[in-house]
């Protein structure tokens, strides 16, 4: 499958500290990759016997059991992975949410950070190359359309790029922005975006914290390309964005969506926000919706993932 990172076999590896247990894990991974899931699960249990707090082995075992259709046993393994790593860098909590064994809640920041740190070197080829990623281009087109309808120039003095990643959104908007600030949870993504030379300022932070540290009315444009999909509760981010935007400023973001109500965790382990939910959250933040379109920012298995492109204004 072409699905991007979370559903691929675990690549993050944290040593158990026990050489024998680590070796068994490596053998188990080989068997898993060869498709012998039952044998891989057996070896993982052996590794866990040697090192009971071996998070990576528990997490991998959870994934294998899920693939084998053994959901209660998968839940048990993911719970053990979570218990053995309080930061939950593998994101076992997300797997529990998807299995219906935990209520919908925020993604563990450590898992988002660990995943994007790991993917930073091949992020653009994976996302743009393999998944036909088009988030920044969609945002650019939408922002130009809103500005043109308002008969205003599409030029912004100060912009903030939330979840800036490697800097693709700044690249799309480079000619229309004077001063770009990038905010991202992943230090290695920030390193990549620094190399573009497009950002005047870069900050390793959660997007909400990043906004909270900004002055009132200090930005003219706030972007979030394929980043709200990692945020379960967008309401506080929208409220802070409204505070940080100057009058007439725009907030533009993409998100994944679904036909129901509220927020769900999609099959790709990203959140999908219903259009009604997005509208209500914008209204609660005091932002005026300028544009909302059903447009997909990426493909999965060569099929566009249902998505929204949203532009809202501070009036
Ligand atoms: C799929 S990438 C998109 C990157 C970039 N915006 C683009 O269009 O190429 C998502 C980025 O959001 C970042 N991210 C996810 N959750 C975040 C959060 N709560 N605060 C800040 N950054 C976050 C990730 O580290 C990652 O770099």
Any atom of ligand 1 within 6 Å of the Cβ of 272 = no
pLDDT at residue 9 in the model: 37
Any atom of ligand 1 within 6 Å of the Cβ of 186 = yes
d(CA 178, CA 197): 13
Quick one: which atom of ligand 1 is closest to the CA of 224? 6
The answer to whether the beta carbons of residues 15 and 22 sit under 8 Å apart is: yes
| Spacing, Cα 237 to ligand 1 middle (Å) | 14
Residue nearest to atom 14 of ligand 1 (CA): 163
Quick one: which atom of ligand 1 is closest to the CA of 168? 9
Q: Which of 89, 105, 138, 185 to mutate to test the pocket of ligand 1 (most atoms within 8 A of CB)?
A: 185
Mean pLDDT by 10 residues, the chain (315 residues): 39 92 97 96 98 98 97 98 94 95 94 91 82 94 98 96 97 97 97 97 98 98 98 98 98 97 92 98 98 95 94 97
Residue nearest to atom 11 of ligand 1 (CA): 163
pLDDT at residue 5 in the model: 44
pLDDT at residue 3 in the model: 38
d(CA 301, CA 87): 31
pLDDT at residue 257 in the model: 98
Using CB atoms within 10 Å of the CB of residue 259, give its burial: 0 to 12 exposed, 13 to 18 middle, 19+ buried: exposed
pLDDT at residue 301 in the model: 85
| Spacing, Cα 65 to ligand 1 middle (Å) | 30
Q: Outline where the chain has alpha helix (H).
A: 19-34, 37-50, 55-67, 71-84, 92-98, 109-119, 123-124, 131, 135-149, 168-173, 187-196, 207-212, 235-244, 275-284
pLDDT at residue 6 in the model: 41
The answer to whether the beta carbons of residues 195 and 164 sit under 8 Å apart is: no
pLDDT at residue 7 in the model: 38
Range 36-40 contact pairs with CB under 8 angstroms and sequence separation of 24 or more: 37/64, 37/67, 37/68, 38/68, 40/64
Q: Which residue has the tokens 């219903």?
A: 274
pLDDT at residue 55 in the model: 97
Any atom of ligand 1 within 6 Å of the Cβ of 138 = no
Residue nearest to atom 10 of ligand 1 (CA): 227
Any atom of ligand 1 within 6 Å of the Cβ of 202 = no
pLDDT at residue 280 in the model: 98
């Amino acid at each position: 499958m072409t699905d991007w990172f979370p559903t691929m076999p675990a690549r993050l590896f944290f040593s158990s500290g026990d050489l024998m247990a680590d070796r068994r894990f490596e053998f188990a991974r080989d068997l898993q990759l060869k498709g012998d899931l039952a044998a891989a699960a057996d070896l993982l249990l052996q590794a866990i016997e040697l090192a009971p707090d071996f998070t990576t082995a528990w997490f991998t075992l959870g994934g294998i059991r899920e693939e084998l259709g053994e959901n209660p046993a998968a839940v048990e393994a993911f719970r053990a992975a979570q218990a053995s790593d309080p930061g939950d860098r593998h994101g076992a909590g997300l797997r529990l949410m998807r299995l219906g064994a935990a209520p919908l809640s925020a993604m563990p920041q450590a898992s988002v950070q660990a995943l994007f740190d790991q993917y930073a070197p091949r992020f653009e080829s994976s996302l743009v190359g393999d998944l036909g990623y088009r988030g920044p281009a969609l945002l650019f087109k939408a922002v130009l359309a809103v500005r043109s309808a308002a008969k205003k120039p599409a030029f912004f003095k100060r912009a903030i790029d939330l979840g800036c990643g490697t800097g693709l959104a700044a690249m799309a908007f480079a000619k229309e922005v004077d001063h770009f600030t990038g905010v991202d949870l992943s230090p290695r993504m920030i390193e990549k975006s620094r190399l573009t030379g497009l950002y005047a300022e870069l900050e390793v932070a959660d997007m909400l914290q990043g906004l909270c540290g900004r002055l009132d009315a200090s930005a003219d444009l706030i972007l979030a390309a394929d980043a709200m999909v990692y945020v379960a509760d967008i309401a506080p981010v929208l409220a802070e964005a409204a505070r940080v935007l100057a009058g007439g400023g725009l907030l533009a973001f993409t998100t994944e969506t679904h036909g129901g109500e509220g927020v769900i965790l999609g099959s790709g382990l990203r959140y999908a926000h219903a259009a009604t939910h997005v509208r209500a959250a914008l209204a609660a933040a005091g932002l005026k919706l300028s544009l909302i379109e059903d447009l997909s920012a990426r493909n999965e298995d060569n099929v566009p993932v249902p998505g929204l492109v949203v532009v809202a204004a501070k009036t």
